[in-house]
Amino acid sequence: MTLLRAETIVKRYGATEALKGVDFDVHAGAVNVLIGENGAGKSTLMKILAGVETPTSGRLLLDGKAVRIGSVKDAAAHGISIVHQELNLCPNLSVSENIFLGRQNAGLIDRRSERAETAALMKRLEQDIDPDTLVGDLRIGQQQIVEIARALSDKARVLILDEPTSALSPTEVEVLFRIIRDLKSVGTGIVYISHRLEELLRIGDHITILRDGSWQATAPVAEVSMPWIVRHMLGHDGQAAVATSRDTTAATVLSVRDLRLTRPDGGYSLDHVDLDIKAGEIVGIYGLLGAGRSELLESLVGACPARGTVRLDGKDLAGLNVSARVERGLCLVPEDRKAEGLFPNLSVGGNLGLSSLVKFSRLGLISETAAGRAIAAMIGLMGVKTASPDLSIGALSGGNQQKVVIGRCLMPGPRVLLIDEPGRGVDIGARHDIFARMRTLAEGGMSVVFTTSDMAEAQTGADRVLVMARGRITADLSPSEATEAALIAAANGVPESEMSPA
Amino acid sequence: MSATTQTTPAPSDTKGGVLSLILQLRTYIALIAVLAFFSFAAPNFLSVASFTIMLQHIAIIAILGIGMSFVILTGGIDLSVGSTAGLAGMVAGMLILNGIVLEPLGIVIYPSIPLVIAITLAVGALVGLINGALITRFGVAPFIATLGMLYVARGSALLSSNGTTFPNLVGTAAHGNTGFPFLGAGQLLGVPVPIWLMIVIAAVAMGVAGRTAFGRYVYAIGGSERAATLAGVRVNKVKTLVYIISGLCAALVGLIISSQLVSAHPATGETLELSAIAAVVLGGASLSGGRGTILGTLIGACVIGVLSDGMIMMGVSEFWQMVIKGSVIVAAVVLDQIQKRFITGARS
């Protein structure tokens, strides 16, 4: 039964047409999957369903009757709720305050019942999160759980989940899937957007594919295969980067000994970590949420006050701040691209060139020709899809923004590139590009260390897979050893010795 | 490429292009509007003499505003500039009248005027350095740090003379320190020195903001301080420098005013910080940082200057002047918000 139907939706932003007459049905009691590369128009379509944007033309039908959804409040009144891809929480408020934000009735707030309901939601989501915890103190994955809890508390008829699992651990994903099944059984229509195709095949019932703002295909999930999806998304058969075993005799570039980072509660975020990275090596660090992967990379560039020895090309980096380490050839592409990677007020070129301005300066003045040439070259190298380097960075899709942040790190010519979750919020086309580029650069002698919570990414993208759990490195595996079983065991803290069958 | 930053990106669509152009050029339109209005409404407004006077008033606001622009572009604010200007005037006055007294040797050194100017500018830079250190080393919010400095600098200015004026700063030939009035009242090629100073400082500031790595870092920090740190920008150094620039500009303004008056009064520069902030905001800068231009600030300073002087010429009461100035500033920010919505609407 079709609960909500979007008919020939067109959305124009100025001269660009984000949606070119798209049809989309939300079936009741089913998971309606929407996929497509970034920039295909998924998020725009969802924003229209959720009342964040209004369509230029086309109409929405709820239970067969045309409705106007002009605002988020309208959508809520019609029982449509959305979990946005980007987190929209107030870090200075508690979990329960965030969940009930904007829905308090006039008069005094009933803190006790809000707290009780929050506790119940957290129990349902199998989370050990105190309703009074400040959202800012939670990890990104936990914040995403809070977003989901907020949408659940709406008791919506149509629930839109835009990349809900991008920061969730496998266990949390399972909990979410269980809840999705519960909601299906009571007739909720779920719209599910994700870049993780294997997830979609597991949970989805109906699948719709968009490409460049146009409808491509719709089919029951039972009848589709991975190649079919990839073909419709890309318009051609994609191929994955294949890892090859690298030269093991190469010199050690980065050497880390006894790296320690203490948590406010006295425990270790990084628990005596030792690590060696060779020249031209691509190392993937797999782990669950809170395993200490981001902390490790941040400590290496000096953005975290960790103790221990970090040597780059044999030279101790003790006491050097971030800018000095960047100069010496360590560079971090942060996990939270929006808050830590991009300058929203600068152009694409401005973002790319920022770490290498001194190189382009003559007598203190930036040489626009030299900078422009280098920026154009980097746009070409990274395959950034942009009409011009002068375009605002906000106009680019997530995948292209990620390429820009990586490109900025590459411009000064680093020795070791650190990338925290290169695939987060990035479509598969761009992800493929990024990994292919990392491979080329590694062949040129640069080392790459990236973190991931995606097993496939760890298995195919790296020459060597490290697994972290509770601040420690629990496994050091070759691509062939990095089976799903081995990764899961190590990520849950089972020592390497107990993993191999005796 | 003009990699940048200073201007909000021009929407590529033609639909609504005219309206958005008008919104983008609103500061210029405002300036033309006030000029046109007073040309009709105020007697003697359209004369070289009144424009020369007006430009000298504008120079004061513009120089402060240019220093303030760098601070605001990083997302900070400097409330101490008015007081710093007052303090600077007093330092210059004291140096000219009393010299530097070396107690144990029993001698008094009278520094020459260039040296007086250098010492005074150094005092301004020191004030900025203290502001910057408080903000970057001790994590004090810019509003609080510079509010504290507003009081400290004003108090120091009052203490320096026990609240009285240093009069008649012409210097004496015997002490070799004559010539101070030239800075405020002198002319080069028929144009008063303060106007020259404004032009030179504006030109240098535009180059620094638009063409140097430092300038780009200032915009970057205003856009995202965390991203700037991770990109290898020495954020604390850049932030400290912008307060030093602001302090230098404030000290220069203090010198110009005391030179124009040929005396230094400890209350000089009161509320000038607000005019400077208003000029920056009128020029299209965002108080949260990352957006704004030196040229915009210059135009903003002109709007405020023309508005004040024009109203005085028209004989508008001082009380009404305040009401009108305040309304213009708020209207500018409202227009800015409308324009922003326009641009984000034109994007996804």
Q: Rounded to an integer, what distance in angstroms lies between the CA atom of residue A159 and that of residue A267?
A: 39
- Considering only CB atoms, B5 lies closest to which of A325, A342, A345, namely A345
Report whether B204 contacts B93 (CB < 8 A).
Answer: no
Residues 206-235 of B with CB under 8 A from A: 207, 211-213, 216-217, 219-220, 222-224, 226-234
A374 in Cβ contact with A411 (< 8 Å): yes
Length of chain B: 348
User: Shortest CA distance to A440 belongs to which of A239, A332, A280?
Assistant: A280
The alpha-carbon gap from B1 to the nearest alpha carbon of chain A, in Å, equals 5
Chain A hits for B213, Cβ within 8 Å: 357-358, 361, 364, 366
Length of chain A in terms of residues written = 502
Nearest to A345 among B15, B219, B347 (CB): B219
**Residue B331 in tokens:** 């209207």
Q: Which residue has the tokens 């430009």?
A: B55
CA dihedral B25, B28, B30, B32 (to 10 degrees): -130
Q: Which of B4, B216, B223 sits opposite A344 (nearest CB)?
A: B223
Contacts of A196 by beta carbon, 8 Å cutoff, 6+ apart: A165, A454
**How many domains does chain B fold into?**
1
Element (H, E) at A218: strand A214-220
Inter-chain contact B291–A14, Cβ cutoff 8 Å?
no
Q: Is residue B6 part of a domain?
A: no
CA gyration radius for chain B?
21
ipTM reported for the complex, 2 dp = 0.76
| Per-residue exposure over A49-64, b if at least 16 CB sit within 10 Å of its own CB, e if not | bbbbbebeebebebee
Region of B190 (left: φ > 0; alpha: ψ -120 to 50; beta: rest) is left
Per-domain boundaries in chain A:
2-234, 252-329+414-499
Look up tokens 């003009």; give the residue.
B2
Q: How far apart are CA B50 and CA B44, in angstroms?
A: 7
Give yes or no for A343 touching B (CB within 8 A): yes
CA distance A232 to A211: 8
In a domain, B116, yes or no: yes
Closest Cα in chain B to A44? B348
| pTM summary value | 0.75
Tokens for B8?
């909000």
Specify the amino acid at residue A193: I
CA–CA dist A339, A326 (Å, integer): 19
User: What sections of B224-293 are H helices per DSSP?
Assistant: 225-230, 235-261, 272-282
Closest C-alpha to A256, from A480, A409, A418, A406: A418
Residues A420-436: tens digit of each pLDDT: 988 877 877 888 889 99
> Are the beta carbons of B310 and B53 closer than 8 angstroms?
no
- Which 3-state string (H, E, C) describes A400-430? HHHHHHHHHHHCCCCCEEEEECCCCCCCHHH
Q: Mind listing the pLDDT tens digit of every residue in chain B (348 residues)?
A: 334 444 444 444 444 577 777 777 778 888 898 888 888 888 788 888 889 999 999 999 999 999 999 999 999 999 999 999 999 999 999 999 888 888 888 888 889 999 999 999 999 999 999 999 999 999 999 999 999 999 999 999 999 999 899 998 888 888 888 888 899 888 899 899 999 999 999 999 999 998 899 999 999 999 999 899 988 899 999 999 999 999 999 999 999 999 999 999 999 999 899 999 999 998 989 888 998 999 999 999 999 999 888 888 888 888 998 898 889 888 888 887 787 776 655 443
Report the first-to-last Cα separation within chain B, whole angstroms. Answer: 24
| CATH of the domain spanning A252-329+414-499, picked from 1.10.645.10, 3.30.56.10, 3.40.50.300, 3.30.70.1450 | 3.40.50.300
CA angle A403, A404, A405 (to 5 degrees): 95
| Burial of residue A358, with CB atoms counted within 10 A of its CB: 0-12 exposed, 13-18 middle, 19 or more buried | middle
A364-396 pLDDT per residue, tens: 888 888 889 999 999 999 989 888 899 889 888
pLDDT grade for A494, boundaries at 50, 70 and 90: low
A340 DSSP assignment: I
Question: B190 is in which domain, residue-wise?
Answer: 44-341
Helix residue ranges per DSSP H, chain B: 17-24, 26-41, 48-73, 81-97, 113-136, 142-161, 181-185, 193-211, 213-223, 225-230, 235-261, 272-282, 294-314, 318-345
Looking at residue B181, which CATH number applies to its domain? 1.10.3470
Find the radius of gyration of the CA atoms of chain A: 23
Mean pLDDT of A10-18: 79
Rounded CA separation B146/A106 (Å): 40
A2-234 — its CATH code?
Answer: 3.40.50.300
Q: Does B18 touch chain A (CB under 8 A)?
A: no
